[in-house]
């Protein structure tokens, strides 16, 4: 009796979600102090909960989700938190006594779990094997840098989840060959739009859709009317663009709708924001005109001017900053927080799973090597889509890194800016393993063993660095042990 495939997929999905929940959500309220950029995002979330109009350094979606998590869990009910939104940042000592971070961190953890499930779905699409996808999903679930960053009220868990949704649509579309799907195209565009509305650098994800259209045109170039092919490509692009635009408009509309009140007079945050508010937007906030598309457009334009001006004020250097060319080498980890009792010190350190990053680096180099080898010594493949996926994902990676190398000349960059590119490199791992096994038959019998070894080493590396991800106390000697492979933390 052959069981339906979904009977294997469902328990695997549940297992991935359960493991991700343990890593990203359990105990998310600790440490009860601001971590890295939380000192900015807490204030923005508070203004959303107060219904106060505001602008920020990033588009509003991630901040809206942080605020939604706090409103949903509402762990600080009975506590006056309005003063938190008075300025654009807040120090830990200015927070109310016994302030709970569980609410503002909730949605970041939830989206980290959603991202884990989407990553499993991407791996399943690439490998067509539940077992392989389950093991490869550990690249995400047990990635220490993701855990340290996503357990705080940061924006990147949202962006990575939406980017993975777009990648899933892209991978499924590639598997469909010449056949297009309006639903998939629309979903890909919408996912890109949502990722852009978390952080603007996700605009680079649009390249996935462009490559998809070009591939379909190329596949049918010699077998179908070219005019029809080009028209179909244009129509597919319009569907993607409509999904992207609809997502962007929806976010701007929600942003304006939930913040109908003008900033409090004299508040430092309000003073900064009012300088960018147009007459149309201020008239709406003052009750002089109703909610309308024109108001939403004016607010979006004002918000965009604020972001662009704020970008000009970002310093070019920082002691925690890093260069994009150093990111694949896991250089310049960041200490988000440390707390000591004189004997033990607990850290929140942005440090990756060294084995996972090594696999990502090997996959990138191997992709280039295998593609060159295929050009030099062609080898018949039972899966031509695999090589095309390798080429397109590699191009997406190189485009992302090139643009960020340019941005690095204008502003400081940090290791977590590499997360989207790291996900792309992770996606190359199963493709490289399959391509190598097909080219060299001796490797075919070892594919499951290879995945098992990769998984074991991944879990060992995760356990070794996990105290730095979960704020667990270490002695100075125990901390220094974590620098044995690579210096990643200045031990206190």
Query: pLDDT at residue 4 above 70?
Result: no
Query: pLDDT at residue 229 above 90?
Result: no
Average pLDDT of the chain is: 92
Query: pLDDT at residue 446 above 80?
Result: no
Query: pLDDT at residue 3 above 50?
Result: no
pLDDT band at 313 (very low <50, low <70, confident <90, very high): confident
Query: pLDDT at residue 1 above 70?
Result: no
Could you read off the pLDDT of 371-392 as tens digits, one per residue? Answer: 998 787 877 776 778 889 999 9
Q: What is the pLDDT of residue 311?
A: 86
Q: Which two tokens stand for residue 328?
A: 């694949």
pLDDT band at 6 (very low <50, low <70, confident <90, very high): low
Report how far residue 193's alpha carbon sits from residue 171's, in angstroms, rounded to the nearest whole number: 18
Q: What is the pLDDT of residue 5?
A: 60
Report which of residues 2 and 277 the model is more confident about.
Answer: 277
In what order do the strands lie in the sheet containing 473-474? 334-340, 345-350, 473-474
Could you read off the pLDDT of 38-53 as tens digits, one per residue? Answer: 999 999 999 999 999 9
Which single residue is written with the structure tokens 């109908």?
260
Q: What is the pLDDT of residue 2?
A: 41
Least confident of 3-12, 110-119, 285-294: 3-12
Report how far residue 411's alpha carbon sits from residue 116's, in angstroms, rounded to the nearest whole number: 30
Phi/psi at 190 (5° precision): -65, -40
Query: pLDDT at residue 282 above 90?
Result: yes
Q: What is the pLDDT of residue 247?
A: 97
Q: What is the pLDDT of residue 218?
A: 87
Contact 257, 291 (CB under 8 A): yes
The answer, as to whether pTM is greater than 0.75, is yes
Report how far residue 69's alpha carbon sits from residue 49's, in angstroms, rounded to the nearest whole number: 10
Query: pLDDT at residue 345 above 70?
Result: yes
pLDDT band at 224 (very low <50, low <70, confident <90, very high): confident
Query: pLDDT at residue 176 above 90?
Result: no
pLDDT band at 419 (very low <50, low <70, confident <90, very high): very high
Could you read off the pLDDT of 124-150 as tens digits, one per residue? Answer: 999 999 999 999 999 999 999 999 999
Contact 327, 415 (CB under 8 A): yes
Query: pLDDT at residue 78 above 80?
Result: yes
């Amino acid at each position: 009796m052959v069981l339906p495939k979904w009977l294997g997929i469902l328990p695997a999905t549940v297992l991935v979600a359960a493991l991700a929940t343990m890593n990203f959500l359990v105990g998310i309220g600790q440490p009860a102090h601001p971590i890295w950029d939380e000192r900015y995002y807490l204030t923005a979330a508070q203004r959303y909960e107060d219904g106060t109009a505001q602008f920020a350094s990033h588009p509003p979606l991630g901040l809206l989700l942080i605020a939604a998590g706090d409103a949903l869990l509402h762990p600080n009910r009975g506590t006056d938190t309005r003063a938190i939104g008075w300025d654009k940042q807040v120090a830990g000592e200015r927070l109310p006594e016994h302030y709970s971070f569980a609410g503002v961190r909730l949605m970041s953890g939830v989206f980290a779990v959603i991202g884990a499930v989407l990553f499993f779905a991407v791996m399943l699409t690439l490998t067509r094997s539940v077992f392989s996808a389950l093991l490869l999903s550990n690249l995400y679930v047990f990635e220490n840098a993701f855990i340290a960053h996503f357990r705080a009220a940061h924006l990147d868990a949202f962006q990575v989840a939406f980017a993975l949704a777009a990648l899933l649509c892209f991978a499924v579309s590639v598997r469909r060959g010449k056949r297009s799907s309006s639903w998939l195209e629309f979903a890909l565009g919408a996912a890109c739009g949502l990722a852009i509305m978390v952080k603007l650098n996700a605009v680079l994800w649009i390249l996935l859709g462009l490559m998809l259209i070009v591939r379909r045109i190329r596949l049918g170039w010699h077998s179908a009317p070219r005019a029809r092919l080009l028209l179909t490509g244009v129509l597919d692009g319009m569907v993607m663009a409509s999904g992207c635009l609809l997502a962007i408009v929806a976010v701007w509309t929600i942003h304006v709708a939930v913040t109908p009140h003008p900033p409090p007079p004299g508040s430092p945050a309000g003073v900064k924001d009012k300088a960018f508010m147009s007459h149309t937007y201020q008239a709406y906030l003052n009750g002089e005109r109703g909610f309308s598309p024109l108001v939403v457009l004016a607010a979006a334009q004002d918000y965009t001017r604020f972001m662009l001006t704020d970008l000009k004020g970002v310093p070019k250097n920082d002691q925690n900053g890093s260069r994009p060319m150093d990111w694949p080498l896991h250089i310049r980890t960041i200490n988000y927080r440390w707390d000591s009792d004189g004997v033990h010190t607990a850290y929140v350190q942005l440090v990756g799973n060294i084995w996972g990053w090594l696999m990502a680096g090997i996959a990138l180099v191997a992709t280039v090597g295998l593609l060159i080898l295929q050009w030099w010594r062609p080898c018949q493949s039972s899966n031509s889509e695999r090589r095309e996926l390798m080429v397109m994902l590699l191009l997406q990676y190189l485009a992302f890194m090139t643009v960020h190398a340019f941005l690095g000349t204008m502003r400081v960059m940090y290791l977590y800016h590499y997360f989207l590119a790291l996900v792309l490199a992770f996606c190359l791992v199963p493709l490289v393993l399959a391509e190598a096994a097909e080219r060299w038959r001796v490797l075919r019998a070892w594919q499951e063993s290879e995945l098992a070894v990769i998984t074991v080493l991944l879990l060992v590396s995760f356990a070794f660095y996990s105290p730095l991800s979960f704020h667990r106390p270490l002695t100075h000697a125990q901390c220094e042990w974590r620098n044995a492979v690579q210096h990643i933390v200045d031990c206190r």
